[in-house]
Amino acid sequence: MKYLLCFSHLSWNFVYQRPQHLLTRFSKHYQVFYFEEPKIGDSDRYIVNVQDGTYIVELLVSNHDETTNERIQNLIKELLEEYNIENYISWYYTPMALQFTSELHPEKIVYDSMDELSAFKFAPPQLLQLENELFRKADVVFTGGNSLYQAKKNRHHNIHAMPSSIDKLHFGQARAIQEEPADQKSISSPKLGFFGVVDERFDIELLREVSAKRPDWQFIIIGPVVKISPEDLPRASNIHYLGPKTYSELPQYISHWDIALILFALNESTEFISPTKTPEYLAAGKPVISTAIKDVINPYGNAGLVHIISDSESFISTAEKIFADDEKDHWQRTVDHFLEDDSWDNTFNKMNALIDAVKVVNELDTNTQKQINHV
């Protein structure tokens, strides 16, 4: 049995995104243990649940003090003993996990840098220092987008851009007319929708301005609100916050949207993001309006697949053109051709091959050392 230990800052059931897509595929080749960020509980213990073929580990500590990391380390050691885990890969989504994994001895270390975490709100001050350490230790590094790769490519000898991909069959369901969910059905058209985490990256002011200038357009926002106060969000009769939805529910909602939105502000927390929702919207067959996010402009904007806007006026004029366009067949064929080879299976295969290649290199090094010793 091959094991993969993943240390993440995200709860498995928060939003179904890159880690879930990748690790459910790795779970067909490894027994995957997904360690969520440690949190306060009634005692020092761990809880293991199996979901999507993956072992989800909650790490609970009774309090935070100078012994916390050592106690978390002991919990991980107990789990490895309980499950007889000896040979394994360590996979990191957050460098912060190095604080309690320093005594582990993995065969290989993978760093999947899906975002520039240091630019996010409430980022720990020691994150950058720990990331430097993770770059030194990692055997292979992946980035969640091309702009993040450009920013980090000189920090590691074996680093690769692996932009987030799509499950085309899942989101393609939105192209067939589906029964509209009850909480959206009563909302009139046209519907302009966004799904994703609503946090410091969300362009609150753009939504406020456009919704005020076009009160007859209905704006649907799906997703959890985190790290910002819900009171700061714009409120109007044509803005509808429907809360979080499951991954399986999303096609039912998108199916009835007229335009899909990528509403991200341009700030330090969005400089290197590569929104997974971009190809997902396109696979659903929906026209997309986006703010000028680098990894949306290149490649989607440059290929004419996504409309890039700069302010509320360009947003409104672009949306009006989309509403007036009755000939979307050519655009849809272009989208489908562009996404033809894009899938999480392909991304997984590329990543898995690069991880396996590390093993080949290590075996070559071992054989070379044996020859040296023999001489």
Each residue of 135-182: pLDDT tens digit?
999 999 999 999 999 999 999 999 999 998 999 999 999 999 789 999
Residue range 333-370, pLDDT digits in tens: 999 999 999 999 999 999 999 999 996 445 445 444 44
Section 92-111 average pLDDT: 96
Q: Are residues 329 and 199 in the same domain?
A: yes
- Is the per-residue pLDDT at 73 higher than 90? yes
- What's 177's domain CATH number? 3.40.50.2000
Q: Are residues 143 and 64 in the same domain?
A: yes
The whole-number pLDDT of residue 177 equals: 78
Beta-strand pair 159-161/191-195: unpaired
Q: Label residue 223 left, alpha or beta by phi (over 0 means left) and psi (-120 to 50 means alpha).
A: left
Percent of the chain at pLDDT above 70?
Answer: 94
Q: Are residues 123 and 232 in the same domain?
A: no
Q: Which of 85, 160, 86, 104 is nearest to 357 (CA)?
A: 160
Q: Per the omega criterion (within 30 degrees of 0), is the bond before 299 cis?
A: yes
The whole-number pLDDT of residue 68 equals: 96
Q: Are residues 186 and 262 in the same domain?
A: yes
The whole-number pLDDT of residue 374 equals: 40
Instruction: Provide the pLDDT confidence category of residue 232 given band limits of 50, 70 and 90.
Output: very high
- Is the per-residue pLDDT at 302 higher than 50? yes
Q: Are residues 172 and 305 in the same domain?
A: yes
Q: Are residues 47 and 125 in the same domain?
A: yes
Q: Are residues 155 and 17 in the same domain?
A: yes
Q: Are residues 65 and 133 in the same domain?
A: yes
The whole-number pLDDT of residue 122 equals: 66
Q: Cα 203 vs. chain centroid, distance in angstroms? A: 19
Instruction: Provide the pLDDT confidence category of residue 125 given band limits of 50, 70 and 90.
Output: confident
Instruction: Provide the pLDDT confidence category of residue 133 given band limits of 50, 70 and 90.
Output: very high
Q: Are residues 329 and 306 in the same domain?
A: yes
Q: Are residues 72 and 17 in the same domain?
A: yes
First-to-last C-alpha distance (Å) of the chain: 36
Q: State the amino acid at position 320 in one-letter form.
A: E
Enclosing domain of residue 227:
168-338
Q: Are residues 351 and 287 in the same domain?
A: no
Q: Which residue has the higher pLDDT, 369 or 285?
A: 285
Number of domains in the chain: 2
Residue range 202-224, pLDDT digits in tens: 999 999 999 999 999 999 999 99
342 token code pair: 């894009």
The whole-number pLDDT of residue 178 equals: 80
Instruction: Provide the pLDDT confidence category of residue 375 given band limits of 50, 70 and 90.
Output: very low
Q: Are residues 283 and 307 in the same domain?
A: yes
Q: What is the pTM of this model?
A: 0.90
